[in-house]
Each structure stands twice: as structure tokens, then as C-alpha cells.
């Protein structure tokens, strides 16, 4: 926990950042059937039939192993549908175009998987969905009817999409940010993002669970937990954390509960769940996607973006949800992010309409990438990053070069990224107090409608048993205690003012990513995303669970990131991030798709819905219970004699 008087670490909406994780797993190797190593023993037992019988046993064991693997992917339920698992938007659209699949059928497929794996199974399932849309089938049916008439509205036409429970929908569903403080009457108006999805023919399947209030309520929070939704789990291993705050969005996309999902990010909330759940995560430039109708933290840093199983699907989704011009509700959609403000740079007038055109399997050939490992050793010298994680990341970097990229080691060149966690956190706290008040003014029929941050604080106190069974609301109370005025010194932040903090964050972009791109003639900066998922712990929280993260390099300036699966540590995913300047999504998509095509990491490490990872070399010994000797010798037995000897 960071003391109020020394808030000098970056705080992010998705999770308490810059906190080390507990010591990681010990070295582990594959473990197979030991009997298969002893053909002589088999022959000795079964004689001349040994080789034939051994082959039969081998085939049987392999068959059993494959069956167990498939059952593991379905959490032990052989009846879970799998026919559309890992299907891409392009593949699904081709099937619907050919008449072999309907949107109604696809919607049912995902709902069946959700019923089997999200709400059932070991430990209660993934628990990534907080609410399903009762109108889902009606929307899908309408999409099918339009298609029959030759009217296809876009790349997401008829495609089921899940969205985070902080994105307003004007329908029968709630929008609560995971808190009962916002539970009651649904939002009066669609968010711009939801409206864009509907206009593009998408099927809004439901809302995903999240870290309550986008993980901006407490320093002691546990990612993926909300008062309304409970604890979201990781589909790779249900004891692992899905990261946050867009926990459910990342987990649901990975688990094949929808074709794509939407999350939101202030600093890491899209990319970290992408990293932890083994999916692509695209965090757009601030202002490229409207935040109108999204429960806010900060108008300077908030954005909305997709989780998807492929870069192409993330690109297609961005094409639909973006606002290329001012949407009339969010001023950022008509301007530029903080890093470009005051530099003379203008919002592009030629923002692409279709980002899938930039997907390139050879996207890394000839690329120039600036690598930074700053922070990968861990934020606590007494608790350094386990070497196995560092080795895995270095292997991922080697693949960049193997795929044709030139990688410039920025750290070795003496380049440093200027970050000031104190300034970022002040900006977030100062803006949250006013931005959340503005959002509450748009809601009616919920406990905090028309209220302020203090209204939410009082609600939590009055309903502490439901809202605060595990952690408090010290971030809320800190934000509420700030002095008024953008130029007023804030004692809690060492006398720093809000406007001074904004200037520091602006310079972090100008002298950080922008300076690196210019000085070394780079296409993008590349770094680790986050450390692999930790074990969820509602007792000790996320405190001490983070070794490193790179999202702040782009977050403070409002710049984009795309994270793509890069490796796995004992079956647990870990990703790599491509970061660029504002409105460089096209370049980042090209690079990330090149890495994806060269490595195929996710295809070789699909979620297994295990109870825990590592899953081997942890079972212990097979104990043999001693047999109690209960036989007794009777004296009269000595006088007896056996017959017919």
C-alpha cells in the first residue's frame, strides 16, 4: 500500500500498478507416462505378445490423453459446443454469406458455452459475464432478415459482441460498473460505442464483469472483483487472475464466449487482461473512440477498445466502434490527445474506415522497433522478477528479429522514458471527481443519480457488507478530499497542481514515445505488456502481485497500444506490446499482425479451464495406506491337522 503522503507510483484504472508479484513458480518440465519408457518390462510381463500389446496400449493412452485434453478445454463437460471455437470474423461472415450459418445459430452457440463454462464448472466457472441481453435472439434474427434482403451493415453484421459493464446501453440491461450504486433503471441513451455497434449490425450479447469502478476505488482491490458480479476468473486456470479492470472482457474473448468483446482503459485496463488471458488487446488513441456514455475515470486518459483472438478481428472491431469525426457528445472525438496538444499536430482528416487493410503476415519485415526492458527486473530489488519470465520475454524479442525487424535496444542507447506516477495519479483523481459527477447527471432511477462522488462514498458505507466485504474505498475518499481549483496546490501530492501535473504528463509523451520514434527513426516502441497472471487472492488483494507493466508509457499522453500473445510461462500467457504516437493504429496493426503470423502463439496455447497452473509436478506422492494385521492365532488350532496332504 502506498501512503497518502507519498503517492509516487503510477495508479491505473485496471489495477494497482507498479507492485511486485509474489515469487513465481519453480522450474517445471513435461511429464509423460513413465511406463512407456520400459518396453523390456512390457515384454517381460506379456512375452511375445509384448510389442503388439504395447502398441495397443500406446494408442489407447494417446487416445485417452487427447480426450482428456478436449475435456479440459471444456472444463470436463463433453457436451460443451466447440464447432465455432477460434473462428474469426471473416470465417463467420463467409459461413453466413454462404447460408451455412445464421446469426441466431451463432448467438445460441455462444450462449450455450456461457451457460456451461461461465456459470458452471469448477470453482463456479469463469464468471466473466455479469448480464445477458434478453433481446439477443431478436437482434440476431433481425440481422439474419437483413442479410436475406441483401443488406449487410458492416464487418460485425450478425456477430455477437460482449461489452464491459461500464458502457451504457439503452435497453433492458443494467450499466453499473460492477456496483449496486448504479443498479436500477437502465441508461437513458446508448453510449456512442453501443450505438455504433447497433448501426453496424452487431449483436450485443451481454455485459462483462469487471473490477468494480474500473479498479479506481481502493488501493487494496483484487482485480476482477465487483460487488455485483463477484470474482472473475482466468480461463487458462481458474485460480489465476484475469487482470483488470476489463477482466470479464479479456476472459470472455479468450474463452470463446463471443466473437469479440469491448473493454475500457485508463492505464492498462485493456492490455493487461489481454496479456493475462492470451488474447489480442487494442487500446486506441484517446479520442478515436468516443467515451460518451461510459462510466469515467479521466477524460484525459480514458478510451474503449476490443479484445479479440486475432489482430484482424480487433482491427475489424475498431473500424466499427471508432468515431472518425466529432460525435457531438465527447469533445475528444474532435481533437487530439494530451501528447499532441500544443505541438501544432492536428487530428488526421483521413482516418481509415477499415483497419483490416493493414493486417499483414509479413508486417515485421523491414520494420524498425525500439525495445525497452525498463522495469522488467521488477519494482522491488528485494523481490526481483523470476529469471524464467525474463528469459521468456527475451525469446519473444528474438522472434521479432527472426521475423525481419530491426530491433534497437533503447536502454542500451541510454534513452529513458520520463514518467511521473505522482503527476498521473493527480490528474486521474482530480478529473474523476468531476467526470463521475457529470456521468451521474445522465442517470435516473439509480442510487447515485444526480449525485457526486460523495454520494457514492456514502452508498458504499451504507452497504458495506455488499460493496466492501474485501477492500475499502480509500481512492474514493482521497479523490473527494482534493482541493478545488486547477491551479491550487494539492498537499496530498506535495503541492503539485492539476495543471502542473497535466504538463508533466504531456511532456512524458513528447519526450517519451514521440522522442524515441524521431531520434531512432522507429515505426514503434516495443516492450513487455505485463507479467503473467498471478493467483487471485481476496484476502491479500493484488498488493505485491505486479512485477512490471509498460502501459503507462502510452497512457499518460493518450497514445495507442496493441498487445499480442507472445509466449507462455508454465501454460500461463504473456504478451508483447507495440506502442506508437497518436493515431498510429494502422502501423501498430501491421506490426502486431506480422508478429502473430510468425509465431502463432495463441494457437499453440489455448485456454484449458484448468483448476490451477502449473498443472504438472504438483500432485505429490501416491500414498499407500498401511494394512492393519487383524489375524489372531487360536491355541486350539495347533491341535488340528489338515486333510489329504
Compute the distance between CA of residue 93 and CA of residue 637 in angstroms, rounded to an integer: 85
Whether 164 sits among the annotated catalytic residues: the reply is: yes
Compute the distance between CA of residue 535 and CA of residue 240 in angstroms, rounded to an integer: 4
Whether 640 sits among the annotated catalytic residues: the reply is: no
Output DSSP code: residue 439. Answer: H
Compute the distance between CA of residue 521 and CA of residue 470 in angstroms, rounded to an integer: 48
Q: Among 400, 378, 369, which residue's Cα sits nearest to residue 523?
A: 369
Whether 223 sits among the annotated catalytic residues: the reply is: no
Strand partners, 595: none
Neighbours of 105 (CB within 10 A): 16
Cis (ω within 30 of 0) for the bond into 464? Answer: no
Its sign, for the CA torsion 467, 446, 194, 589, is negative
Q: Among 197, 143, 135, 145, which residue's Cα sits nearest to residue 167?
A: 197
Buried b (16+ CB within 10 A) or exposed e, 162-188: bbbbbbbbbbebbbbbbbbbbbeebbe
Three-state DSSP state, 533: coil
The active-site residue out of 103, 128, 164, 179 is 164
Compute the distance between CA of residue 542 and CA of residue 238 in angstroms, rounded to an integer: 16
Strand partners, 597: none
The active-site residue out of 128, 245, 254, 550 is 245
Cis (ω within 30 of 0) for the bond into 393? Answer: no
Name the pairing type of β-strands 303-308 and 260-265.
antiparallel
Q: Are 133 and 162 in contact (CB under 8 A)?
A: no
The active-site residue out of 103, 211, 246, 269 is 269
Which residues carry out catalysis? 164, 245, 269
Amino acid at each position: 500500500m502506498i501512503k497518502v503522503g507519498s503517492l509516487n507510483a503510477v495508479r491505473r484504472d485496471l489495477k494497482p500498478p507498479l507492485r511486485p508479484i509474489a515469487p513465481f513458480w519453480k522450474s517445471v518440465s513435461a511429464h509423460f507416462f513413465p511406463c512407456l519408457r520400459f518396453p523390456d518390462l512390457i515384454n517381460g510381463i506379456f512375452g511375445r505378445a509384448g510389442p503388439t500389446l504395447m502398441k495397443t496400449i500406446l494408442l489407447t493412452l494417446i487416445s485417452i490423453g487427447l480426450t482428456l485434453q478436449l475435456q479440459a478445454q471444456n472444463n470436463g463437460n463433453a457436451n460443451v459446443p466447440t464447432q465455432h471455437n477460434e473462428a474469426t470474423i471473416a470465417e463467420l461472415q463467409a459461413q453466413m454469406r454462404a447460408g451455412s450459418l445464421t446469426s441466431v445459430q451463432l448467438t445460441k452457440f455462444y450462449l450455450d458455452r456461457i451457460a456451461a463454462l461461465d456459470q458452471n464448472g469448477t470453482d463456479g466457472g469463469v464468471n466473466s459475464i455479469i448480464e445477458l441481453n434478453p433481446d439477443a435472439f431478436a437482434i440476431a434474427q433481425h440481422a439474419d432478415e437483413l442479410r436475406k434482403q441483401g443488406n449487410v451493415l458492416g464487418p460485425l453484421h450478425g456477430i455477437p459482441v460482449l461489452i464491459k459493464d461500464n458502457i451504457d446501453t439503452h435497453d433492458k440491461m443494467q450499466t453499473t460498473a460492477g456496483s449496486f450504486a448504479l443498479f436500477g433503471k437502465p441508461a437513458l441513451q446508448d453510449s456512442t460505442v453501443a450505438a455504433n455497434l447497433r448501426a453496424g449490425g452487431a449483436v450485443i450479447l451481454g455485459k462483462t464483469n469487471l473490477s468494480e469502478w474500473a479498479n479506481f476505488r481502493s488501493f487494496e482491490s483484487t482485480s476482477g472483483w465487483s460487488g455485483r458480479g463477484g470474482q472473475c476468473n482466468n480461463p487458462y486456470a481458474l485460480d489465476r487472475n484475469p487482470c483488470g479492470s476489463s477482466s470479464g472482457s479479456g476472459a470472455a474473448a479468450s474463452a470463446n464466449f463471443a466473437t469479440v468483446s469491448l473493454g475500457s482503459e485508463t492505464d492498462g485496463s485493456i492490455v493487461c487482461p489481454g496479456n493475462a488471458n492470451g488474447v489480442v488487446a487494442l487500446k486506441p488513441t484517446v479520442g478515436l473512440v468516443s467515451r460518451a456514455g461510459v462510466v469515467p475515470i479521466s477524460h484525459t486518459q480514458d478510451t474503449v477498445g476490443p479484445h479479440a483472438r486475432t489482430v484482424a478481428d480487433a482491427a475489424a472491431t475498431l473500424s466499427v466502434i471508432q468515431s472518425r469525426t466529432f460525435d457531438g457528445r465527447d469533445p475528444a472525438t474532435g481533437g487530439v490527445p494530451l501528447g499532441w496538444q500544443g505541438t501544432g499536430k492536428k487530428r488526421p482528416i483521413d482516418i481509415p474506415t477499415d483497419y483490416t487493410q493493414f493486417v499483414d503476415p509479413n508486417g515485421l519485415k523491414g520494420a524498425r522497433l525500439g525495445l525497452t526492458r525498463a522495469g522488467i527486473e521488477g519494482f522491488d530489488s528485494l523481490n526481483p522478477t523470476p529469471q524464467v519470465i525474463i528469459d521468456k520475454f527475451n525469446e519473444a524479442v528474438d522472434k521479432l528479429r527472426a521475423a525481419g525487424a530491426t530491433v534497437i535496444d533503447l536502454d542500451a542507447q541510454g534513452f529513458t522514458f520520463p514518467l511521473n506516477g505522482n503527476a498521473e495519479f493527480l490528474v486521474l483523481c482530480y478529473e474523476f471527481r468531476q467526470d463521475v459527477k457529470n456521468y451521474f447527471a445522465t442517470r435516473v432511477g439509480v442510487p447515485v443519480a444526480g449525485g457526486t462522488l460523495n454520494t457514492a462514498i456514502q452508498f458504499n458505507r451504507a452497504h458495506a457488507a455488499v460493496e466492501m466485504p474485501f477492500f475499502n474505498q480509500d481512492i474514493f475518499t482521497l479523490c473527494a478530499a482534493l482541493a478545488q481549483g486547477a491551479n491550487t496546490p494539492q498537499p496530498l501530492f506535495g503541492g503539485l497542481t492539476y495543471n502542473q501535473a497535466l504538463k508533466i504528463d504531456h511532456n512524458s509523451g513528447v519526450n517519451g514515445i514521440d522522442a524515441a520514434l524521431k531520434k531512432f527513426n522507429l515505426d514503434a516502441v516495443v516492450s513487455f505488456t505485463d507479467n503473467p497472471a498471478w493467483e487471485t487472492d481476496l484476502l491479500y488483494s493484488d498488493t505485491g502481485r505486479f512485477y512490471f507493466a509498460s502501459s503507462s508509457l502510452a497512457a499518460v499522453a493518450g497514445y495507442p497500444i496493441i498487445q499480442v500473445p507472445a509466449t507462455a510461462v508454465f501454460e500461463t500467457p504473456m504478451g508483447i506490446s507495440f506502442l506508437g504516437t497518436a493515431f498510429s493504429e494502422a502501423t501498430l496493426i501491421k506490426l502486431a499482425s506480422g508478429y502473430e503470423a510468425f509465431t502463432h502463439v495463441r494457437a499453440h496455447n489455448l485456454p484449458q479451464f484448468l483448476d490451477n497452473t502449473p498443472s504438472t509436478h504438483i500432485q505429490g506422492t501416491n500414498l499407500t495406506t498401511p494394512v492393519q494385521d487383524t489375524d489372531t492365532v487360536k491355541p486350539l488350532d495347533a491341535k488340528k491337522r489338515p486333510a489329504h496332504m
